[in-house]
Structure 1
Amino acid sequence: MCTACEWAPAFSAITRRRALRTAGVVVAATALSACAPRTDDPQPSADEHADFVFRNGPIYTVAGADPWAQALAVRGNTIVHVGDEAGAMALAGPDTRVVDLAGGMLMPGFVEGHIHPFLGAFLTSGVDLQVPTGADALAAIEAYAKDNPDGPVRGFGWRVDMFGPEGPTRTELDRVLPDRPGFFFAIDGHSLWANSTALEMAGVSRDTEDPVPGFSYYARDENGDPTGYVLEVNAALSLVDAIEPISAENMGRLLEAWLPNASAAGITSVFDAGVPPIGTDQGALIGLYTDVEARGRLPFRVVASYSVKSPPVDDVVAKVTDIRDRFSTDLVRADVVKIVGDGTQGGYTAWLLEPYADKPDSTGGSPFTEQQWHQLVGDIDAAGFDVHVHACGERTARTALDAIERAVAANPPRDRRHAIAHLVYVEDPDSQRFGDLGVVAQFSANWMSADPDTMVNMVARYGPPRADLMYRPKKVLQSGGRVSLGTDWPAAGYFSTYKPLDAIQIGVTRQLIGERDAAVLAPADQRLSVAEAVYANTMGAAYQLKMDDRVGSLEVGKLADLIVLDRNILDIDPHDISSAAVTLTMMDGQIRHEA
């Protein structure tokens, strides 16, 4: 299925300045590439020369019925030629850098449809707990504490299957951290493991009220005392902030240290699906993006979001309008509302239609009532903003679709790009509705493997037949819907990655990376083709973000956001996709990474 041929072009407007410049470039480049230049043709003037020409390798444009080209030229921050090599070389001048691809593959830069740069840089600091067992995690914490003898001990990456459905306990941590606070984020980013000292410092006791009862809370033993297992973001971040206050300065330092990693992974645009607020102001961190941009160090475009995690909902439009108006630059905008509609299956906080197979008295929950859902989505849509819904559970997906459907019917027509993310399991009637309603299905393809977390925890939570029907992007595509990909870094089921090539490989194979004969996650017919996965991580995500008129494909007049891989990932064993190297990343016509 050629999704690139069928998915619609963008409708969003660009600035008059860019439109005029692009129109001139399109006319000039079309004339130059329409036929091979003759020897008596006038040569381009110095200001018409390209700054870069890419040649001698496959160029995958992700555009049109024939997405392959021989050469590409860039002038300033704009693509001015895509086509034959003669047309590109006709634009070369004495100062043009001619990049010999040497058989490597040129393609659009990756557009991450759902990622958390600030949270990722923050959560993944400290000890890495992506280890096989709970005993291994405790040993890693003990060793790290000895090597780092001062202050709180923090870390990231433990998995729910290490401890069972009741989660980890503070007593286990107290044995290796008896007198220092310790807190450790789970790999899904939705829960925390804390020791007794950390709980005491944060003032969490049997008398402490849960931030969002039944959704974001402190797990308790039979006596009502907190066990050290902390569920969902509200409770987790309040505990962490009491021990190590979350400051804009620290978050900015961690972010800037991570930015080169994004460029090395080929990322040129991101949807930041939610930042932790500094105090009550989410804009305090979003503004750091513009600060980095002003210093010329922001290597990707950012669409940021205002997150709504719990009621009240009456002031959401005013708050997102304020943030949009405060932060709007060439590379940064903030005009999407992220609705945290439920939690995760691992903590029984994802909202299901039918009870959990291993906890039949529970269907999870949402922080919002059905009435609040409709008010929230309706108000946001009426104000001209798009929603991006966190929906791990199928009831959350259905409720979000219902709310969007009602909002579309009630509000005037416009160019909507609503999205629903994660979609662990979706009932078949709802898969069809993505296409019917024009809602983007946003998947984290790196979750789509038959890894231990999925096969132990997720299968236990769902049971047959639901456990054999998880993560079905092809179902949405076959129904005429749109799909985008994003790693959701740092959140993960089994291993945390910000690298799109990792996610693409798993989306194509539905196998854990590293074992060619690893189990394939059912249903196997939901494996994406490489072309579909690449499209979803470029044009699919660009469409979601109303950026597909500027990025996501290599076309004349679009911005020069592109990457070079050391091999053609559409022509190799799919199990080798993640091992492909990004040898060059260009964003806005500037090289941001070069190996």
Structure 2
Amino acid sequence: MSRRSVLRAGAAMTAATALAPGFFATDVSAEESKAKAAIDGPADFVFHNGPVYTVATAAAWADAVAVRGNTIVHVGDAAGALAMAGPKTQVIDLKGRLLMPGFVEGHTHPFLGAFLTSGLDLQLANLDEVLAAIKTYAKENPTGPIRGFGWRVDMFPPEGPNRAELDAILPDRPAFFFAIDGHSLWVNSKALEMAGVTRDTPDPIPRFSYYARDQKGDPTGYVLEVNAVLSLVNAVEPISGDAMGKLLEGWLPKAAAAGITTVFDAGVPPIGSDQGAMFALYVDADKRGVLPFRVSAGYTVKSPPIDKAVETLTDIRKRIGSELVKVDTVKIIGDGSQAGYTAWVIEPYADMPDSTGGSPFTEEQWHQLISSVDAAGFDVHVHACGERTTRVALDSIEKAIAANPARDRRHTIAHLVYVEDSDALRFPKLGVIAEFSANWSSADPDTLENMVARYGQPRASRMYRTRSVLKAGGRVSFGTDWPAAGYFSTYEPLKSIQVGVTRQLIGLKDAPVLSPADERLTVEEAIHANTMGAAYQLRMDKEIGSIEVGKRADLIVLDQNILKIDPHEIHKTKVDLGMMNGTIRHKA
């Protein structure tokens, strides 16, 4: 080809890409692809000989992909991709395996998960097994504090666990164990002593974050919600930056192996009073080249005062960030969980009719906080397990929209265990993203027993209504909320996707289906929620979430096509290869 022909072909390619969103190289001949490579250089990677699920509106399927640097430069036919290969190009034969976008986790807690799951795993069948496991672990680890994670609320009566059960095993060593929902703590007398918690100790947030007490007023060893929980943890085993950095780095390869290429960190434990110190650990990992995913992080407001939220977030943003790490959202802990009666509900709990739970904030504080964050141009991400929290958050967002200038808003409300019909319709109306922890939506023992007891009918048969939001025209994103869960804890999006599709406990094809059964998603819908849906939430939908020319090369190779197999088998799928930003981060 003459130089003029080469330039003409390159100009045509550039014009097509600029003028046609969702443009695919399927429309370009192999000769034109070769001409493009002659101008810009050959591709660094070519993927071919397997189905490519793009999650793109314009063309959901393709035959091959080429990557140059950190950017996707060809999506379409194999001839066009291979024509961009040069002597140093890594040509990857998919051998029939599925190529798709990397998973975008719309709500998870890498630091908390790495910390909480580094102790004793208490995701066991019953209390006897839990106590036996603690006793064995104590013998095998004879010195220092003992911590663990994963006991289930249905192992105990409504008043929760008691320190006496731990004191019988651990009379002299401090011990604390997180519930699987991450909202409460079970501690022994030694831990209470170290924290200085007695009958005279005031609760951090009365009736919301508190130390459960017996009839005499003495603490029972059941500690609820983050303020009270942190007071115990920091007294027994203070969270240090070095320790958290090492724990995180140990988990990062597992995240890459799960196909995760982007996360929204929905809340970090502070080092001292500075959440920014934790975010800086992500930046350090990025600088050292070991961070396998992008990070969008939320500065957490867990209780009053609220007047410094925008100022603090702005300060953190100025101090901390990198190409892959940004702190750009205000996370609001709007309530607790149904398990501890701290989720804020509209009608009283069926098994505690004098309680509707609570929130750390008054309604006026809700309105002030969200209005100020919105006015500053930031998005809020609200933890809302209870339906009243969802309603008040929507009310506050609606007021902010009316009061503040028009802009592209990406406010998100997360978890949404139960939402009233009238409020579900407000998500599309207000442009609010509904973020679901799909792995919670199984008919597991906790849901069928504990949640049914808390809610009663008909509410108990109308939980996690993801499809209803989609049918109303709303946007949905997925995140595992790792390590928090109702019955089983996971950071793996593939498991979350399977539960979103089946609404059944993993591993049992004939397991009960969580009602309403018609809230089950298609595999395509569930994948979208964990890719483009979450990417939109994080304002990254122009860069990631689908396989399109011009987007970042965040790609994963699965050993089986999850869109073709029995959905009950999705959790068995392995991620054979993971690429983030054009660099291979995982290879099986």
TM bracket, shorter-chain basis: over 0.9
1:35 is displaced (CA, Å) by 3.7
Aligned letter for 2:470?
Answer: L
1:386-443 per-position Cα deviation (integer Å, ceiling 9, x unaligned): 0000000000000000000000010001111000000000000000000000000000
1:364-402 per-position Cα deviation (integer Å, ceiling 9, x unaligned): 000100100000000000000000000000000000000
Is residue 493 of structure 2 the alignment partner of residue 500 of structure 1? yes
Q: 1:41 to 1:411 in 2, by over 3 A?
A: closer
1:41 is displaced (CA, Å) by 7.1
Is residue 385 of structure 2 the alignment partner of residue 392 of structure 1? yes
Counterpart of 1:315 (choices 308, 312, 315) is 308
Partner of 2:41: 48
Partner of 2:199: 206
Q: 1:83 to 1:245 in 2, by over 3 A?
A: same
Q: How does 1:30-41 map to 2 (within 5 A)?
A: 33-38=26-31
Partner of 2:5: none
Could you tell me how far apart the structure 2 residues matched to 1:109 and 1:154 are? 33
Aligned letter for 1:262?
Answer: A
Partner of 2:7: none
Could you tell me how far apart the structure 1 residues matched to 2:266 and 2:86 are? 42
1:37 is displaced (CA, Å) by 2.9
Give 3-state SS (helix, strand or coil) of 1:95's partner. strand
Could you tell me how far apart the structure 2 residues matched to 1:255 and 1:417 are? 28
Partner of 1:12: none
Could you tell me how far apart the structure 1 residues matched to 2:182 and 2:34 are? 60
Q: 1:226 to 1:46 in 2, by over 3 A?
A: same
Give 3-state SS (helix, strand or coil) of 2:568's partner. helix
8 Å Cα contact 2:34-2:84 kept in structure 1: no
Q: How does 1:328-367 map to 2 (within 5 A)?
A: 328-367=321-360
Aligned letter for 1:66?
Answer: A
1:255-277 per-position Cα deviation (integer Å, ceiling 9, x unaligned): 01100000000000000000011
Partner of 2:430: 437
Is residue 117 of structure 2 the alignment partner of residue 113 of structure 1? no
Could you tell me how far apart the structure 1 residues matched to 2:546 and 2:33 are? 33
1:328-382 per-position Cα deviation (integer Å, ceiling 9, x unaligned): 3210110100000000000000000000000000000001001000000000000
1:73 is displaced (CA, Å) by 0.3
Q: How does 1:135-174 map to 2 (within 5 A)?
A: 135-174=128-167
Partner of 1:370: 363
Q: 1:61 to 1:195 in 2, by over 3 A?
A: same
Give 3-state SS (helix, strand or coil) of 1:377's partner. helix
Is residue 505 of structure 2 the alignment partner of residue 515 of structure 1? no
Could you tell me how far apart the structure 2 residues matched to 1:474 and 1:30 are? 29
Q: How does 1:53-132 map to 2 (within 5 A)?
A: 53-132=46-125
Partner of 2:546: 553
Counterpart of 2:586 (choices 582, 589, 593) is 593
1:326 is displaced (CA, Å) by 1.4
Partner of 2:526: 533
8 Å Cα contact 1:389-1:419 kept in structure 2: yes
Give 3-state SS (helix, strand or coil) of 1:167's partner. coil
8 Å Cα contact 1:392-1:423 kept in structure 2: yes
Q: 1:24 to 1:212 in 2, by over 3 A?
A: farther
Could you tell me how far apart the structure 1 residues matched to 2:25 and 2:413 are? 43
Aligned-residue Cα RMSD (Å) equals 1.8
Q: How does 1:172-321 map to 2 (within 5 A)?
A: 172-321=165-314
Give 3-state SS (helix, strand or coil) of 2:544's partner. coil
8 Å Cα contact 2:438-2:500 kept in structure 1: yes
1:278 is displaced (CA, Å) by 1.0
1:280-320 per-position Cα deviation (integer Å, ceiling 9, x unaligned): 11101011110111111111000011100100111111111
Could you tell me how far apart the structure 2 residues matched to 1:319 and 1:272 are? 17
Q: 1:243 to 1:42 in 2, by over 3 A?
A: closer
Could you tell me how far apart the structure 2 residues matched to 1:456 and 1:191 are? 19
Give 3-state SS (helix, strand or coil) of 1:375's partner. helix
Aligned letter for 2:374?
Answer: D
1:515-555 per-position Cα deviation (integer Å, ceiling 9, x unaligned): 00000000000001100000000000000000000000000
1:47 is displaced (CA, Å) by 5.1
1:501-524 per-position Cα deviation (integer Å, ceiling 9, x unaligned): 000000000000010000000000
8 Å Cα contact 2:174-2:189 kept in structure 1: yes
In structure 1, the gaps of 5 or more residues are: 1-21
Counterpart of 1:402 (choices 389, 392, 395) is 395
1:27 is displaced (CA, Å) by 6.5
1:36 is displaced (CA, Å) by 2.8
8 Å Cα contact 1:26-1:80 kept in structure 2: no
8 Å Cα contact 2:31-2:80 kept in structure 1: no
Could you tell me how far apart the structure 1 residues matched to 2:389 and 2:135 are? 39
1:151-203 per-position Cα deviation (integer Å, ceiling 9, x unaligned): 01110000000112111100000111111111000000100000011111111
8 Å Cα contact 1:72-1:83 kept in structure 2: yes
1:99-141 per-position Cα deviation (integer Å, ceiling 9, x unaligned): 1111110000000000000000011111100000011101000
Could you tell me how far apart the structure 2 residues matched to 1:35 and 1:151 are? 65
Could you tell me how far apart the structure 1 residues matched to 2:296 and 2:260 are? 13
Could you tell me how far apart the structure 1 residues matched to 2:207 and 2:435 are? 26
Runs of 4+ in 1 over 2 A off after TM superposition: 22-47
1:66 is displaced (CA, Å) by 3.2
Could you tell me how far apart the structure 2 residues matched to 1:548 and 1:129 are? 38
More deviation in 512-521 or 243-252?
A: 243-252
Partner of 1:479: 472
8 Å Cα contact 1:51-1:96 kept in structure 2: yes
8 Å Cα contact 1:340-1:390 kept in structure 2: yes
1:48 is displaced (CA, Å) by 1.5
8 Å Cα contact 1:25-1:556 kept in structure 2: no
1:45 is displaced (CA, Å) by 3.2
Partner of 2:6: none
8 Å Cα contact 2:74-2:80 kept in structure 1: yes
8 Å Cα contact 1:160-1:346 kept in structure 2: yes
8 Å Cα contact 2:107-2:265 kept in structure 1: yes
Could you tell me how far apart the structure 2 residues matched to 1:39 and 1:75 are? 16
Is residue 460 of structure 2 the alignment partner of residue 462 of structure 1? no
Give 3-state SS (helix, strand or coil) of 1:583's partner. strand
Could you tell me how far apart the structure 2 residues matched to 1:443 and 1:163 are? 27
Could you tell me how far apart the structure 2 residues matched to 1:188 and 1:411 are? 36
Is residue 561 of structure 2 the alignment partner of residue 568 of structure 1? yes
1:42 is displaced (CA, Å) by 5.5
Aligned letter for 1:207?
Answer: D
Q: 1:175 to 1:30 in 2, by over 3 A?
A: closer
Could you tell me how far apart the structure 2 residues matched to 1:527 and 1:47 are? 45
Q: 1:356 to 1:84 in 2, by over 3 A?
A: same
Could you tell me how far apart the structure 2 residues matched to 1:316 and 1:25 are? 44
Partner of 2:482: 489
Could you tell me how far apart the structure 2 residues matched to 1:283 and 1:24 are? 43
Give 3-state SS (helix, strand or coil) of 1:516's partner. coil
Partner of 1:10: none
Give 3-state SS (helix, strand or coil) of 2:337's partner. coil
